[in-house]
Structure 1
Amino acid sequence: MKRSIYRIRLRDDVQRTPAFWRSVRNPYDVHGMVWRIFSDGSRKDRDFIYRLEMQEASPVIYAVSTAEPVDLDGIWAVESKEYNPVLRTGQRFGFSLRANPIRSKRDEERRQHRHDVVMDAKVLLEQSGCPSDAMPSQEILVQKEGFSWLSSRSEAAGFAVEEGMVRADGYRQHRFKKPKGKHWVSISTIDFTGVLTVTDPERFEQALYAGIGPAKSFGCGLLLIRPV
């Protein structure tokens, strides 16, 4: 199956238009915007992963997709190239990843709940009686819990990471409602950068195409790599 990687940026004349910025106020708005770019109106399943970055105060979308983007609104400049990386065991890549690291737990009634790994670590420390003056800083917790989460996912995704070779930061909490929705949606994200080693080329290729972790509809999971 042919896949391409895209860099899609907002045209300079459009980014000065207030109407555009009013239309993308939260992750659900961005999700709808990206879906519109990659959907021809007939597809029901998402066949792309993406990440939105702000570069010089302008939105840039990086995406991997089997479908070509369609600029229905005439506001995007699209760059693309075929995405078919040649991979081998032991290969090292620099990488960046925005992910939604969560920990699944069951309550007393055996119902499963998803917990943000950073907030979950804070709660566990508080419950253990850790005094406030001994509580690790958020920066330390993000690094520790973020790396632990990524490391736990790496084997299934065909790569390995080493402590000291990965930085986890940029922790953010996003809270929004879907249109006509009654309940708040909460998503936390961490940005990872560093160096990884390929351990299983087939699994790693799948991770590049399908992404890592949950919340892919909201711009999480796209693993971008470069040779080192």
Structure 2
Amino acid sequence: MNPYEVHRKIWDLFPDRQKAKRDFLFRMEQSTPTGHPVLLQSTFEPVSVKGGPVVLGQKEINYFFKTGMVLQFFLTANPTRRIRARGDKTSNQGRCRVPLIDEDEIRDWLKRKFTDVGLLHEVIIAGKSNLYFRKKGRPGKIVTVNYTGLLSVDDPESLANLVENGIGPAKAFGCGLLSLARM
């Protein structure tokens, strides 16, 4: 399933917001015989539309984070770094994103994202995969990493901001949604 097309279909759940800036995050879950479930986080309520994706359930979540709180986390992300682009590329200040391959670099990338938020006690790389897509007829690929682990909260407001805005690039491809659970 093309994640870019999933992103486009999710917009159908917000019929009154088609021209708005993207303000939702999603993650494609493991496919089942009945379909391709997607976990969606949005400040606006999604609405099923005939012929479009179906909202199977929804739940309002109000996070309350406290300093010192220990949480379990799950994240699918696209850890990258920028390098100077070859040729005459002028967009993105002449730089392009490349995936991180080394597991230490992949862990360090995540630790940098949590610098102002809290302390990562444990970071497990639960899987890596190549995600292929087509955007405007052109093929592309990103490398996704599934992280799990434990974190203790240092700055509740910064954590709430991270949850709301997501982590890293490729949010239009199902990356960046941070899932948390109390210990």
Same fold (TM over 0.5): yes
1:174 aligns with 2:174: no
1:29 aligns with 2:12: no
- Distance apart, 1:32 and its partner CA: 1.3
Is the CA contact (8 Å cut-off) linking 1:40 and 1:70 kept in structure 2? no
Q: What residue number does 1:195 align with?
A: 150
Structure-2 change in CA distance of 1:67 and 1:147 (3 Å): same
- Distance apart, 1:44 and its partner CA: 2.7
| Pairing of 1:188-227 with structure 2 (within 5 A) | 188-227=143-182
- Distance apart, 1:59 and its partner CA: 2.1
Between the aligned residues of both structures, percent identity stands at 35
**RMSD (Å) for aligned C-alpha atoms:** 2.1
1:161 aligns with 2:112: no
Structure-2 change in CA distance of 1:221 and 1:39 (3 Å): farther
In proportion to residue count, which structure has more helix?
Answer: 1
Q: Deviations over 1:162-191 (max 9, x none)?
A: 3xx221132111233223x3x432211000
Structure-2 change in CA distance of 1:145 and 1:113 (3 Å): same
Structure-2 change in CA distance of 1:86 and 1:41 (3 Å): closer
The code of the aligned residue for 2:5 comes to D
| Pairing of 1:56-135 with structure 2 (within 5 A) | 56-57=32-33, 58-73=35-50, 76-107=54-85, 111-118=94-101
- Distance apart, 1:34 and its partner CA: 1.5
CA distance in 1, matches of 2:106, 2:173: 19
Is the CA contact (8 Å cut-off) linking 2:47 and 2:55 kept in structure 1? no
- Distance apart, 1:77 and its partner CA: 4.0
Secondary structure, counterpart of 2:16 in structure 1: coil
CA distance in 1, matches of 2:45, 2:158: 24
- Distance apart, 1:84 and its partner CA: 1.4
Q: What residue number does 1:128 align with?
A: none
Is the CA contact (8 Å cut-off) linking 2:13 and 2:47 kept in structure 1? yes
TM-score by length of 1: 0.70
Q: Give the greater-gyration-radius structure (CA).
A: 1
Question: Which consecutive unaligned segments of at least 5 residues does structure 1 have?
Answer: 1-24, 119-140
Is the CA contact (8 Å cut-off) linking 1:160 and 1:199 kept in structure 2? yes
CA distance in 1, matches of 2:18, 2:36: 26
Question: Which consecutive unaligned segments of at least 5 residues does structure 2 have?
Answer: 88-92
CA distance in 2, matches of 1:28, 1:42: 16
Question: 4+ runs of 1 displaced by more than 4 Å?
Answer: 107-110
**Aligned pairs, how many?**
176
